[in-house]
Chain A
Amino acid sequence: MSVRVQSALFDIGAETAAFAKGRAGVGAIVTFTGIVRDRASGGLSRMEIEHYPGMTERAIAGIETEAIARWHLIDSLVIHRYGALGVGDPIMMVATAAPHRGDAFAAAEFLMDYLKSRAPFWKKEVAADGAEWVAAKDADEDALRRW
């Protein structure tokens, strides 16, 4: 189980390969990568991501501990970036390793749902016509109820 909060770009392929390497009991690896998406109207200059150093790592570690308690997981990895990111850049990734795919998929979705609204990150969309904090969606809060 590991957490990395960083401004640096990460390589999805290299991270996945390193995470998957040398695990005798693992039959399934699931990964999810979040990418900076342009606005529907276009013109996004950058996405600025702010976080709460200290609490961020604690909150993510807590979410991972819960995932490991609920599913048969062998390991999990969360990488989340902060700072100024461009359209198409990876924001974050989650990886889960389990003996079977059902646990790996479910735990990855659980981690994503909780990261969205329980890890202290805030996104701001910056464009030539102004900057705006991304509002939390009711759907993200609703998504937690299924767990």
Chain B
Amino acid sequence: MIDVLYFAWVRERIGFPKERVETTAATVADLVAELKAREPRYEAAFADLTALRVAVDQTLSTFDAPLAGVREVAFFPPMTGG
């Protein structure tokens, strides 16, 4: 089980901030493909991966990152702090 978190407009498109996902996905990209196959709202949120960033266990990562042993994956748009 992996906790999947969504922030900003990704959260708005999906409709909630967090869910637990039962998955055997090997990488973040595989997890995205599984989610997109579920419902149109995931398709809408993940339509353009270049517009998204991903954090794996709270560290900025990439879509080819492996998921073995990972507890938390978060998807969000480029950050706008400061």
Report which A residues bind B (CB closer than 8 A).
Answer: 34, 50, 52, 54-55, 58-59, 80, 91-92, 112, 115-124, 133-136, 141
Contacts and interface: CB of A to CB of B under 8 A. Distances in A.
Interface of B: 5, 7-9, 11, 55, 58-60, 74, 76-82
Tell me whether chain A's interface is mostly helix, strand or loop, or mixed. Answer: mixed
A117 B81 contact: yes
B4 to A, nearest CB: 13
22 contacts: A50-B8, A55-B58, A55-B74, A58-B58, A58-B59, A91-B82, A115-B82, A116-B80, A116-B81, A116-B82, A119-B81, A119-B82, A120-B55, A121-B79, A121-B80, A121-B82, A122-B8, A122-B76, A122-B77, A133-B8, A135-B78, A136-B79
B35 to A, nearest CB: 19
Given A112-B82, A116-B81, A134-B80, A52 B9 contact: no
Nearest to B82: A116
B74 A122 contact: no
